[in-house]
C-alpha cells in the first residue's frame, strides 16, 4: 500500500512539474517572438519530454534501463494514438493538419525507425547514441529553419526572470518526482508480482503524456490545431532519438528484445497510421480518432499478454 501511495504521489509531482514547465517555458519563448508553430513543435515539445527523460535517466542509474526504454516507447505509442483520440473526441470534430506539419513529417517514420534498427541486437552503444542525438538534432534544425520566418509571432512579454525561476522550480519537481516514480514502481511491481516493464509501458508512460494532453487541449480550445499536433509529434520524435541517445551516451545498455520487436514496432506502425490519416484530406476525422483508440487498446492487450 505504501509503495502504491508513493508511486501515485510521485507520478502526480511529475505531471504537475511538467505542466508548470510547459507553462513557463512557453512564456519565456513568447518573449523571444518565436512563431506559434516553433513554440509548439520545438520549444514545448522539448520541454514535454522532461518527464520521460528524467525517469529514463533515473532508471538507468538504478540499473533498470529497460524500465526507461519501456516508458519512452509506451508514451510515444500513447501520444500517437490515445492522446490524438482523446483530443478529437473531446473537440467533437476533426483536427486540421497544416501543410507545414505534413512538410516536416515526410521522413518522420524513418527517424522513429532508427532506434528500432539500432536495438535489434538488444543493445544501444555510445556510437548509436551519438547517431540518434545527431538525427534528432538534424530533424529539429530542419523544422526550425523551415519555419523561423513564420509571420504569426507572439508579442513581447515582461517577467522573463520570474518565469525562468519558476521554470527551474518546475524542473526541480520533475527531478524529485521522477526519482521516486522509478523506485516506487519497482517496489509496486515486486509487491504485485508484475513485470516492472509492464508498469513502465502502460501506467508510467500514460502519466508522462499528461502534460502534452493538457497543453493540446488548451490549444484546441483556441482552435489552434497546429500547436496541438506539433507538440505531440515533436515530443514523440525527441523521445525516440534525443532521449534514447542521451541514455546510450550516459551508459550503453542491454534490454529485453521484445521491447524493440513488439513495443518498438507498434510505435512505428502507430506513426505510419497517423500520418496516413493526416494526409487523407489534411484532417484527422472523428472516425479515424476512434480507430486510433482501438489501436492503442490492441497494443495494451498484447503487452499484457507478452509481459504476464
Q: What digits encode the pLDDT tens for the residues 271-290?
A: 999 988 888 767 888 999 99
Q: What digits encode the pLDDT tens for the residues 71-118?
A: 899 999 999 999 999 999 888 888 887 666 666 667 788 889 999 999
Q: How far apart are CA 91 and CA 220, in angstroms?
A: 7
Residue owning grid cell 496541438: 228
Average pLDDT over residues 23-38: 68
Q: Helix/strand/coil (H, E, C) string of 115-153?
A: HHHHHHHCEECHHHHHHHHHHHHHHHHHHHHHHCCCCCE
Tell me how far CA of residue 205 lies from CA of 87, 125, 153, 236, 285, in angstroms. 18, 24, 33, 12, 25
Cell of 60: 538507468
Domain ranges within the chain, ordered by starting residue: 40-151+194-307
Q: What digits encode the pLDDT tens for the residues 133-162?
A: 999 988 878 777 665 554 444 455 566 778
**The pTM is what?**
0.83
Instruction: Determine the length of the chain.
Output: 308
Q: How far apart are CA 77 and CA 83, in angstroms?
A: 9
Beta carbons within 10 angstroms of residue 222's beta carbon? 10
Mean pLDDT, the chain, rounded, equals: 81
What is the second-level CATH architecture of the domain 40-151+194-307? Answer: Up-down Bundle (1.20)
Amino acid at each position: 500500500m505504501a509503495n502504491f501511495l508513493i508511486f501515485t504521489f510521485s507520478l502526480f509531482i511529475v505531471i504537475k512539474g511538467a505542466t508548470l514547465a510547459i507553462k513557463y517555458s512557453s512564456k519565456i519563448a513568447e518573449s523571444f517572438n518565436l512563431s506559434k508553430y516553433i513554440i509548439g513543435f520545438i520549444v514545448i515539445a522539448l520541454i514535454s519530454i522532461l518527464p520521460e527523460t528524467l525517469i529514463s535517466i533515473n532508471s538507468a542509474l538504478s540499473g533498470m534501463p529497460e524500465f526507461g526504454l519501456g516508458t519512452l516507447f509506451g508514451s510515444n505509442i500513447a501520444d500517437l494514438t490515445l492522446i490524438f483520440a482523446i483530443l478529437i473526441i473531446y473537440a467533437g470534430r476533426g483536427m486540421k493538419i497544416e501543410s507545414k506539419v505534413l512538410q516536416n513529417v515526410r521522413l518522420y517514420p524513418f527517424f522513429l525507425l532508427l532506434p528500432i534498427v539500432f536495438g535489434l541486437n538488444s543493445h544501444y552503444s555510445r556510437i548509436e547514441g551519438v547517431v540518434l542525438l545527431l538525427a534528432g538534432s538534424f530533424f529539429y534544425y530542419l523544422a526550425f529553419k523551415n519555419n523561423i520566418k513564420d509571420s504569426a509571432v507572439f508579442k513581447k512579454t515582461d517577467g522573463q526572470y520570474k518565469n525562468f525561476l519558476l521554470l527551474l522550480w518546475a524542473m526541480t519537481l520533475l527531478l524529485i518526482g521522477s526519482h521516486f516514480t522509478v523506485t516506487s514502481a519497482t517496489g509496486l511491481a515486486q509487491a504485485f508480482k508484475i513485470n516492472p516493464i509492464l508498469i513502465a509501458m502502460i501506467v508510467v508512460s500514460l502519466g508522462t503524456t499528461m502534460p502534452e494532453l493538457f497543453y493540446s487541449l488548451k490549444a484546441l480550445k483556441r482552435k489552434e490545431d497546429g500547436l496541438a499536433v506539433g507538440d505531440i509529434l515533436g515530443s514523440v520524435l525527441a523521445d525516440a532519438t534525443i532521449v534514447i541517445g542521451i541514455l546510450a551516451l550516459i551508459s550503453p545498455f542491454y534490454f529485453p528484445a521484445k521491447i524493440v520487436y513488439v513495443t518498438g514496432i507498434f510505435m512505428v506502425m502507430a506513426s505510419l497510421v497517423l500520418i496516413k490519416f493526416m494526409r487523407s484530406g489534411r484532417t484527422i476525422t472523428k472516425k479515424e480518432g476512434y480507430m486510433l483508440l482501438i489501436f492503442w487498446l490492441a497494443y495494451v492487450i498484447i503487452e499484457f499478454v507478452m509481459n504476464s
